[in-house]
Structure 1
Amino acid sequence: MCNYAQMPSSSCLTPHPPSADDLLVLLAVARGGRYTAAAAELGLNHTTIARRISALEDALGGRVLARGAAGWVLTPLGEHAISAAEAVERAIEALSPEEPRLAGVVRLSATDGFSGYIAAPAIVAVRRAHPDVSLEIVAATRRAAAQRVGVDLEVVVGRPHVHRAEAVHLADYALGLYASRSFLERNGTPASTRELARGPLVYFIESMLQVDALDEARRSTRGMVDAVSSTNVYVHVDATRAGAGFGLLPAFLADPHDDLVRLFPDEIDERLPYWLVCRPEALRQPTVLAFIEALRARIAAVAGELAGVPTRS
Structure 2
Amino acid sequence: MNWDDLKLFLAVARAGRLASAAKAIGQDATTVSRRIRRLEQALQARLFEHTPSGHVLTDQGSALFEAAERMEAAAMGIQRDAAPASQLAGAIRISASEGFGSRIIAPHVGDFTRAHPQVQIDLIASSGVLNPSRREADIAVMLARPKAGPLIARKLTDYALGLYAAPAYLASAPRLAGPGDLASHVLVGYVPDQIYAPELRYLSEIGSRLEATIRSSSINAQAEIIAAGTGCGVLPCFIGDAVPGLVRALPEIGIERSFWLVVHRDLRGIARIDRFLAWLTQRIEQLRPLMMGRG
- Band of TM-score, shorter chain: 0.5 to 0.7
In structure 2, the residue corresponding to 1:147 is in which secondary structure?
A: helix
1:299 maps to a residue whose letter is: I
Between the aligned partners of 2:144 and 2:117, the Cα distance in structure 1 is 33
Between the aligned partners of 1:293 and 1:128, the Cα distance in structure 2 is 16
Per the TM alignment, residue 146 of structure 1 is displaced from its structure 2 partner at its CA by 7.5
Equivalent position of 1:289 in the other structure: 274
Given the alignment of the two structures, is residue 175 of structure 1 paired with residue 161 of structure 2, yes or no? yes
Between the aligned partners of 1:132 and 1:99, the Cα distance in structure 2 is 9
Equivalent position of 1:185 in the other structure: 171
Given the alignment of the two structures, is residue 228 of structure 1 paired with residue 221 of structure 2, yes or no? no
- Structure 1 counterpart of 2:182, from 193, 196, 212: 196
1:107 maps to a residue whose letter is: R
1:142-198: CA deviations, max 9, x gaps? 367383323101111123212211111000111110111111111145112111114
Listed as ranges, the matches of 1:153-164 within 5 Å are 153-164=139-150
Given the alignment of the two structures, is residue 274 of structure 1 paired with residue 259 of structure 2, yes or no? yes
Per the TM alignment, residue 209 of structure 1 is displaced from its structure 2 partner at its CA by 0.9
2:286 maps to a residue whose letter is: A
Equivalent position of 2:135 in the other structure: 149
1:294 maps to a residue whose letter is: W
Between the aligned partners of 2:189 and 2:211, the Cα distance in structure 1 is 10
Indicate if the aligned counterparts of 1:123 and 1:294 stay in contact, CA closer than 8 A: no
Between the aligned partners of 1:236 and 1:303, the Cα distance in structure 2 is 23
Between the aligned partners of 1:160 and 1:307, the Cα distance in structure 2 is 23
Q: Which stretches in structure 2 are left out of the alignment for 5+ residues?
A: 1-82
Per the TM alignment, residue 293 of structure 1 is displaced from its structure 2 partner at its CA by 1.2
Between the aligned partners of 1:178 and 1:132, the Cα distance in structure 2 is 41
Indicate if the aligned counterparts of 1:101 and 1:130 stay in contact, CA closer than 8 A: no
Between the aligned partners of 2:175 and 2:154, the Cα distance in structure 1 is 40
The verdict on how the C-alpha distance between 1:118 and 1:282 changes in structure 2, with shifts beyond 3 A counting, is farther
Equivalent position of 2:196 in the other structure: 210
Per the TM alignment, residue 252 of structure 1 is displaced from its structure 2 partner at its CA by 0.8
The verdict on how the C-alpha distance between 1:296 and 1:122 changes in structure 2, with shifts beyond 3 A counting, is farther
Given the alignment of the two structures, is residue 252 of structure 1 paired with residue 238 of structure 2, yes or no? yes
In structure 2, the residue corresponding to 1:298 is in which secondary structure?
A: helix
Per the TM alignment, residue 258 of structure 1 is displaced from its structure 2 partner at its CA by 4.0
The verdict on how the C-alpha distance between 1:99 and 1:225 changes in structure 2, with shifts beyond 3 A counting, is closer
Equivalent position of 1:54 in the other structure: none
What TM-score, normalized to structure 2? Answer: 0.66
Given the alignment of the two structures, is residue 125 of structure 1 paired with residue 111 of structure 2, yes or no? yes
The verdict on how the C-alpha distance between 1:117 and 1:258 changes in structure 2, with shifts beyond 3 A counting, is closer
In structure 1, the residue corresponding to 2:170 is in which secondary structure?
A: helix
Between the aligned partners of 1:146 and 1:138, the Cα distance in structure 2 is 13
TM-align CA RMSD = 2.2
Indicate if the aligned counterparts of 2:202 and 2:234 stay in contact, CA closer than 8 A: no
The verdict on how the C-alpha distance between 1:101 and 1:147 changes in structure 2, with shifts beyond 3 A counting, is closer
What TM-score, normalized to structure 1? Answer: 0.63
Indicate if the aligned counterparts of 1:123 and 1:134 stay in contact, CA closer than 8 A: no
1:168 maps to a residue whose letter is: R
